[in-house]
């Protein structure tokens, strides 16, 4: 029987056999050898699974003059994340993170929020060296230090006002300065320790890490670019072991907003600097972030706007009970050139947050309690808030 006839007979279910092989089972030794060869040819993935769940309760003061502010106290799912990280010995890898409690606005002023599932991180990577990792997909833009912190490691229930802004249910709505996640190409590195005999040794002495990215310049989970221009990000960190990190970053992004035919161009340029310290139970983060938004030249009536945020936060992890008192000062001015006479929506905000955390020494469980005193430089709004959060990590 010809090879073609034999192949057709096998696919069609015929019992025809080549002469001399009828009713003969394959040798067990041959089968084991073939299985071993197939296993050797298949790359061995090192898979790591993880995630976290955070549930919170929030109570905001009821302002007597604004009917939305403070009228939605209660419980909510703050964050649910499912993550898988895979890597091969040759440096090829991937990372996928799903968010299971993403807020999807349904009504005006974000009054009604439906929870849904969406992608957070989804990228392929190749790391041939400690100083070179290439990633393509969706990832956090390498910009401000607070955004680059994992949500599960935050010292406070929410990120600072300058980072995430204010929703219409908590105060006068304003966007924050975080660049969030972007779709694009990234080149970055792990910290490289100059005087360690091996990069696998315990971190010690000075080190350097960096990140560069070219992205679409839009926020998370938007499939296409809004124009044919790219956004550019760059970040550089100087380390001293695990104790101190000094970092800085910048970005440039030409955006196109609105729906055709009424589309408007604007240029966004930003920079940030930060200091992180972790020593003897003390955690410190200070940073400054600034973004300048310049409208297209044809929009004569529109003025450039410069937004700036400052924050300093400190916490102390006592070594016996797992308690961690914390304090954060956060300042955010959405337009540092605005005196308030023309556009009071751009008033400066000053937030003081007092926290007490419980980090279980035996279980992956955290309890965070926050009280935030809010302040506005033009309008006085009664919107101080209390937040409590329970978190578990796996």
Would you list the DSSP string of 322-349? -EEEEEEEEEEES-TT--SSS-GGG--E
Residue 93 and residue 127: Cα distance in Å, rounded? 8
**In the beta sheet, which residues pair with residue 353?**
328, 372
What count of other Cβ atoms lies within 10 Å of the Cβ of residue 320? 6
Query: Across residues 191-198, what is the average pLDDT?
Result: 84
Q: Look at 195 and 284; give whichever has higher pLDDT.
A: 284
List, for residues 84-124, the tens digit of each pLDDT value.
999 999 999 999 999 998 876 655 545 556 788 999 999 99
3-class SS string, 89-130: CCCEEEEEEEEEEEEEECCHHHCCEEEEEEEEEEEEEEEEEC
List, for residues 210-221, the tens digit of each pLDDT value.
999 999 998 777
Position 304 confidence tier, pLDDT thresholds 50, 70, 90:
confident
DSSP code, position 300: T
pLDDT at 299: 61
- Are 365 and 162 in contact by the 8 Å Cβ rule? The answer is no
Q: Which two tokens stand for residue 314?
A: 């400190």
Q: Look at 173 and 367; give whichever has higher pLDDT.
A: 367
List, for residues 46-87, the tens digit of each pLDDT value.
999 999 999 999 999 999 988 889 888 999 999 999 999 999
pLDDT at 257: 84
pLDDT at 67: 84
**In the beta sheet, which residues pair with residue 54?**
79, 391
- Strands 192-193, 181-188: pairing is unpaired
* CA 227 and chain centroid, separation: 24
pTM of the model: 0.84
Is the pLDDT confidence value at 145 over 80?
yes
Q: What angle do CA 105, 109, 115 make, to 5 degrees?
A: 20
Is the pLDDT confidence value at 18 over 50?
no
List, for residues 333-391, the tens digit of each pLDDT value.
999 976 554 445 678 999 999 999 999 999 999 999 999 999 998 888 999 999 999 99
List, for residues 124-134, the tens digit of each pLDDT value.
999 999 899 99
Residue 38 and residue 314: Cα distance in Å, rounded? 54
Q: Which two tokens stand for residue 174?
A: 């304003």
Position 8 confidence tier, pLDDT thresholds 50, 70, 90:
very low
pLDDT at 325: 98
Buried b / exposed e along 108-146 (16+ C-beta atoms within 10 A): eebeebeeeeebbbbbebebeeebebebebbbbbbbbbb
Looking at domain 43-393, its CATH class is: mainly beta
Is the pLDDT confidence value at 3 over 60?
no
Is the pLDDT confidence value at 40 over 70?
no
pLDDT at 1: 45
Is the pLDDT confidence value at 312 over 90?
yes
Strands (E), 151-197: 165-166, 174-175, 181-188, 192-193
Residue 71 and residue 386: Cα distance in Å, rounded? 14
3-class SS of residue 299:
coil
Is the pLDDT confidence value at 15 over 60?
no
pLDDT at 2: 42
Contacts for 215 with CB less than 8 Å, ≥ 6 apart: 141, 182, 183, 184, 185, 230, 231, 233
Average pLDDT of the chain to the nearest whole number: 86
Tell me which of 142-156, 169-183, 294-308 is least confident.
294-308
**In the beta sheet, which residues pair with residue 236?**
210, 248
pLDDT at 19: 35
- For the chain, the domains span 1-42, 43-393
Phi/psi at 40 (5° precision): -65, -30
Tell me which of 13-22, 211-220, 285-294 is least confident.
13-22
Q: Which two tokens stand for residue 118?
A: 């969406």
């Amino acid at each position: 029987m010809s090879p073609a006839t034999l192949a057709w007979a096998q696919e069609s279910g015929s019992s025809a056999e080549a002469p001399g092989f009828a009713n003969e089972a394959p040798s067990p030794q041959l089968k084991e050898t073939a299985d071993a060869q197939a296993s050797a040819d298949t790359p061995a993935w090192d898979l790591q699974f993880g995630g976290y769940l955070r549930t919170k309760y929030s109570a905001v003061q009821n302002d007597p003059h604004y009917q939305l502010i403070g009228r939605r106290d209660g419980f909510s799912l703050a964050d649910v994340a499912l993550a898988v990280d895979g890597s091969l010995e040759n440096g090829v890898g991937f990372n996928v993170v799903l968010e299971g409690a993403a807020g999807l606005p349904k009504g005006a002023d974000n009054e009604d929020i439906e929870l849904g599932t969406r992608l957070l991180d989804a990228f392929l990577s190749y790391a041939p060296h400690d100083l070179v990792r290439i990633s393509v997909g969706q990832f956090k833009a390498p910009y401000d230090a607070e955004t680059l912190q994992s949500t599960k490691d935050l010292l406070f229930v929410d990120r600072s006002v300058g980072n995430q802004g204010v929703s219409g249910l908590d105060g006068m709505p304003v966007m924050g300065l975080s660049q969030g996640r972007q779709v694009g190409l990234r080149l970055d590195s792990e910290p490289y320790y100059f005087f360690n005999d091996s990069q696998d040794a315990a971190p010690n002495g000075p080190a350097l890490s960096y990140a560069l990215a070219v992205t679409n310049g839009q926020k998370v989970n938007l499939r296409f670019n809004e124009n044919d221009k790219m956004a550019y990000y760059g970040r550089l960190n100087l380390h001293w072991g695990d104790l101190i990190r000094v970092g800085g970053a910048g970005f440039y992004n030409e955006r196109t907003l609105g729906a055709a035919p009424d589309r408007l161009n604007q240029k966004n340029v930003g920079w940030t600097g930060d200091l992180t310290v972790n020593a003897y139970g003390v955690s410190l983060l200070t940073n400054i972030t600034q973004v300048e938004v310049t409208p297209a030249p044809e929009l004569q009536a529109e003025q450039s706007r410069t937004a700036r945020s400052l924050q300093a936060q400190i916490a102390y992890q006592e070594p016996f009970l797992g308690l961690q008192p914390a304090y954060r000062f956060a300042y955010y001015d959405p337009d540092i050139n605005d005196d308030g006479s023309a556009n009071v929506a751009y008033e400066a905000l000053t937030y003081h947050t007092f926290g007490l955390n419980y980090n279980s020494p035996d279980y992956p469980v955290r309890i965070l309690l926050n009280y935030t005193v809010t302040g506005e430089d033009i309008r006085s709004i009664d919107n101080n808030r209390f937040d409590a959060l329970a978190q578990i990590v796996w």
